[in-house]
Amino acid sequence: APNLIGASALFLDEATRSGESPIKQQHQVVRPKRTPQGPQYSWNIVWRNVLGMLYMHIFSFYGLYLLFCVCKWKTFFWSLFLTIFGAQGVTAGAHRLWAHRCYKAKLPLRILLAFAQTIAFQNDLYEWVRDHRVHHKFTDTDADPHNAQRGFFFSHVGWLLVRKHKDIMTKGKTVDMSDMLADPVVRFQKKYYLLLTPICCLLVPMLVPCYYWNEKLYISWYVTTILRYTLSLNGTWLVNSAAHIFGTKPYDKNIGPTENKFVAAIAFGEGWHNYHHIFPWDYKASELGYKLNVTTSIIDFFAWMGWAYDLKTVSRDMIERRSKRTGDGTRSPTQSEELL
Ligand code: ST9
Ligand code: ZN
Ligand code: ZN
């Protein structure tokens, strides 16, 4: 059964005071300082990344054509499977397990999730989690790797195309990552990432259809690899862009992140982002049960198996009090009851 954390205020204060535990420290939030004239940015472009992203996005359209008009149906389902499996490595793994420690996972589950996250090719777990903890601590400031104050494009993909703002490096150093380095699964993936990720994300996904059902190599490359990877990346990036710009703010109207159903549906439950930024330790990343939240059901499944345990969540009373105090009034008081 999920373990209810009954006093968020206490939890946050304690984390702020001690500043020691990586699990508590990641829940500190530093509010953005806004200047009236707005900051100036230099875009130090990394052309290798720009060319890579251009190639992927342009050839994804060809992949779309092949997907609907040419490829075998098994190739379609193989791509779908890779999308869902890889996404769980990001949502249930990198995000809810490693970045926020919303629950604990036994070794076999950690290996499975790290493998899935390698298929997703979104940087190694260590780098992903570091950027994400820094994003939560310095949300929508220059120290946020995908600062949504710099607009939709920057927070969506632009941040991967330019050198990072110096604040990310300097302030990012204050985020404790020792728990990550203590995990042998994380260390292994980090050490061999440059070898593992091209194999898991590009090569094997492409070769399986050719070997098992005689798909043509070029079809498999454009559909299973290029299109699937590009769509998965865009689905993930929407959490940083759309769910920081469009939507309601039932839990805290003073922050950028929003509740966005469209993103929740596409990103397997990660679009309930106003809630998530206020209660980042909740393994459900929303208060709405399984509503547009496949990831929560996957974690519950592993909890039922005994591979996931110590699931953390938030009491309804605490959510209600917070919503009344800082929300924008769009939270329906009955919505969580209906779904429980
Ligand atoms: C990708 C990641 O797409 C997406 C993450 C999205 C997160 C979303 C979260 C929402 C929830 C999840 C939703 C999932 C939904 C799934 C749905 C699926 C359908 N703190 O980076 P460097 C220091 S990746 C502290 O090289 P540059 C550090 O010392 C896509 N320090 O900076 C570091 O050295 P080291 C594929 C930090 O040179 C040094 O700075 N990958 C931090 O400015 C240099 O770091 C790519 O495209 C920090 N946060 O380069 C690759 N950061 O590492 C993109 C840095 O040795 N990356 N430091 O300790 C790059 O090419 C480069 O990073 C760069 C910046 C050009 C962007
Ligand atoms: Zn998060
Ligand atoms: Zn966010």
Q: What is the DSSP string of 141-204?
A: STTSTT-GGG-HHHHHTGGGTBPPPHHHHHHHTTS--HHHHT-HHHHHHHHHHHHHHIIIIIIH
Cα-to-centroid distance, 31 and ligand 1 (Å):
22
Cα-to-centroid distance, 171 and ligand 3 (Å):
17
SS3 state at 137: helix
Which of 2-6, 48-52, 314-318 bottoms out in mean pLDDT, i.e. has the lowest? Answer: 2-6
> What's the rounded Cα separation, in Å, for the pair 186 and 332?
40
pLDDT of 338 > 70? The answer is no
Residue 29 dihedral angles phi and psi, to the nearest 5° = -125, 130
* pLDDT reported for residue 43: 86
Pocket of ligand 1 (CB under 6 A): 46, 49, 83, 87, 90-91, 95, 121-123, 130-132, 134, 145, 160, 163-164, 168-169, 172-173, 232-233, 235-236, 239-240, 267-268, 270
Cα-to-centroid distance, 124 and ligand 1 (Å):
9
* pLDDT reported for residue 20: 40
> What's the rounded Cα separation, in Å, for the pair 78 and 83?
9
pLDDT of 152 > 70? The answer is yes
Helix, strand, coil % in the chain, rounded to nearest 5: 60, 5, 35
Q: What percent of the chain has pLDDT over 70?
A: 87
| Ligand 1, atom 28: closest residue by C-alpha | 169
Cα-to-centroid distance, 273 and ligand 3 (Å):
6
Q: Give the tokens for residue 45.
A: 């472009």
pLDDT per position as a tens digit, 217-239: 999 999 999 999 999 999 999 99
> What's the rounded Cα separation, in Å, for the pair 290 and 64?
30
Confidence of residue 39 (pLDDT cuts 50, 70, 90): confident
pLDDT of 3 > 60? The answer is no
| Ligand 1, atom 42: closest residue by C-alpha | 169
SS3 state at 105: strand
Contact by Cβ (8 Å): 250, 328? yes
* Average pLDDT rounded to a whole number, residues 282-289: 96
* pLDDT reported for residue 336: 55
Locate the domains of the chain by residue range: 3-15+63-339
Cα-to-centroid distance, 221 and ligand 1 (Å):
25
- Tally DSSP H helices, then E strands, for the chain: 18, 4
pLDDT per position as a tens digit, 75-126: 999 999 999 999 999 999 999 999 999 999 999 999 999 999 999 999 999 9
pLDDT of 258 > 50? The answer is yes
| Ligand 1 atom closest to the CA of 94, numbered from 1 | 12
Give one DSSP letter per residue of 260-305, joined into a string.
Answer: -HHHHHHTTTTTBHHHHHHSTT-TTSSSSTTTT-HHHHHHHHHHHH
Pocket test for ligand 1, best of 154, 164, 226 (most atoms within 8 A of CB): 164
Confidence of residue 162 (pLDDT cuts 50, 70, 90): very high
Q: Which residues pair with 313 in a beta bridge?
A: 4
pLDDT of 50 > 50? The answer is yes
* DSSP-derived secondary structure letter, 248: B
| Ligand 1, atom 20: closest residue by C-alpha | 172
pLDDT per position as a tens digit, 311-324: 999 999 999 999 99
Pocket test for ligand 1, best of 48, 165, 169 (most atoms within 8 A of CB): 169
* pLDDT reported for residue 28: 60
pLDDT of 333 > 50? The answer is yes
* Average pLDDT rounded to a whole number, residues 64-83: 96
Cα-to-centroid distance, 131 and ligand 1 (Å):
6
